[in-house]
Amino acid sequence: MIRITRIGHVTLSTPDPERQVAHYAGLLGLSIAAREGDTIWMACPDDHRSIALRHGEAAGCTALSLQVPAGTELRDFARQLSRQGVAAEAQSDAAPDTPQRLLLATPDGLRIEVEAERPAGRAAGEGPIIPRKLGHAAFRVTDPERTVAFFTEALGFRVSDWMGDFFAFLRCGPDHHTVNFIRSPAARLHHIAFELRDWDHVKEACDALGAQRIPLIWGPGRHTVGHNLYTYHHDPDGQIVELFAELDRMSDEAGGAWDQRPWHQETPLRPRRWEMDPFLSNAWGIGTPQGFRDA
C-alpha cells in the first residue's frame, strides 16, 4: 500500500496577505519561499513549504497538502485510491516546484493535495521564533469516525489516540499526530501547529509574542494526549496557531509503543482511547478555556 508519510503545507485564505506575512515571517520567522499570482509560499527550515497564503474574501483553510515518499508514482496512488472508491484528479505544474499532484477531497469536502516529498529548504526567516516545521493541522469535522476511516483506509494514516469519542489523533510517520479531528457541527480548520526545538524555545516564543502584545489564549501547558508542551495564540486573521515541543514519537512502528518519556503515565505507553479527566487536556491541571474547542 502506498501511504502518506508526511504533512506538506496548509493553504490559508486571507483578506490581507501582507498582514499575515508580517505575522508568519516577521514574528514566527518563516522564510518566503515563492510568490506566484495571489499566493505567497512560506517555509520553516525543516519543510519545503509550510503554509501558502492566498488572497480571498474570508479567512480559512482551503487545502491541506500531504506527501508520499519521493519517487512514488502518483498514478499508482490514484489507482489505489480509485479501488477504494476515492476519486483523485491529476494536476501538472499547478504550484512552484510541484510538477505533479493529485487532488481529492475528505468526506467533509476539505481539499487534499497529494505530492511527492521534497528536500527541506533550510532557510530561516527574520522573525525571532523560527519553528522547525509545520507539525500538524487540526480540523473541526462533522463525523470524526467517518473522517478517521477515510484517512486510515484511503491514505494510510494510523490512529494514535482518541480523546473520548469526539477527538481523534492520527499519524503518518513517527510524530504522534500530523492531523487531528474534533467533532463539530461545522467543518473547518481548528488550528495549525508548528514544532519548536524544546522548552527553552517555547519560553522564547512566549517572550516574542508578549513583546508584540499578542496574548496567549491557552498555555503554556502540557497536553496529556501526545504529551506535547504547547501554547496557542491567534494570527491576525483570528486563526489559532499552536507552538509545541516534546510531542510523543513512535520510532518503532512495529513495536507499537511511544518512545519512553519521564512524564508518561505508564511504560510502555501505547495508543489508546483516553477517558475524560480534569487533567486530560492539560497534564498541569489548567483546563481548556471556555469556547476553545468550538473556536
Question: Which is nearer to Fe ion, 41 or 139 (by Cβ)?
Answer: 139
- Closest contact distance (angstroms) between CB of 195 and Fe ion is 10
Question: Which is nearer to Fe ion, 78 or 148 (by Cβ)?
Answer: 148
d(CA 36, CA 98) in angstroms, rounded, equals 13
Grid cell of 112 as nine digits: 487534499
First to last CA, the chain: 36
Question: Which is nearer to Fe ion, 121 or 221 (by Cβ)?
Answer: 221
Sheet with 111-116: list strands edge to edge: 31-36, 39-43, 51-55, 6-14, 60-68, 111-116, 98-105, 89-95
Question: Which is nearer to Fe ion, 138 or 196 (by Cβ)?
Answer: 138
Determine the residue with CB nearest Fe ion: 193
Asked whether the beta carbons of 166 and 122 are under 8 A apart, the reply is no
- Closest contact distance (angstroms) between CB of 126 and Fe ion is 26
- Closest contact distance (angstroms) between CB of 249 and Fe ion is 15
Asked whether the beta carbons of 43 and 123 are under 8 A apart, the reply is yes
Position 61 contacts Fe ion (CB under 5 A):
no
Question: Which is nearer to Fe ion, 77 or 232 (by Cβ)?
Answer: 232
H-run or E-run covering 181? strand 179-183
In the numeric block, the cell 469556547 is attached to 291
Asked whether the beta carbons of 134 and 9 are under 8 A apart, the reply is yes
**Which residues from 80-139 bind Fe ion, rule CB under 5 A?**
138
b/e string for 262-287 if b means 16 or more Cβ within 10 A? eeeeeeebebeeeeeeeebbbbeeee
Kindly state the number of chain residues that form the binding site for Fe ion, as judged by CB under 5 A.
3
b/e string for 77-94 if b means 16 or more Cβ within 10 A? bbebbeeeebebeebeee
- Closest contact distance (angstroms) between CB of 108 and Fe ion is 18
- Closest contact distance (angstroms) between CB of 289 and Fe ion is 14
- Alpha helix (H) ranges present in 174-252? 199-211
- Closest contact distance (angstroms) between CB of 68 and Fe ion is 23
Span interacting with Fe ion, options 61-69, 76-84, 236-244, 280-288, rule CB under 5 A: 236-244
Question: Which is nearer to Fe ion, 40 or 168 (by Cβ)?
Answer: 168
Question: Which is nearer to Fe ion, 108 or 242 (by Cβ)?
Answer: 242
CA distances 222 to 199, 254, 284, Å, are 11, 27, 7
Question: Which is nearer to Fe ion, 43 or 243 (by Cβ)?
Answer: 243
Residue from 95, 102, 104, 193 binding Fe ion (CB under 5 A): 193
- Closest contact distance (angstroms) between CB of 192 and Fe ion is 8
- Closest contact distance (angstroms) between CB of 175 and Fe ion is 11
Span interacting with Fe ion, options 38-46, 84-92, 101-109, 192-200, rule CB under 5 A: 192-200
Enumerate residues 6+ apart whose C-beta is below 8 A from 9: 41, 47, 49, 50, 51, 52, 65, 134
238-277 footprint of Fe ion as x/- string (CB under 5 A):
----x-----------------------------------
Binding residues for Fe ion (CB under 5 A)? 138, 193, 242
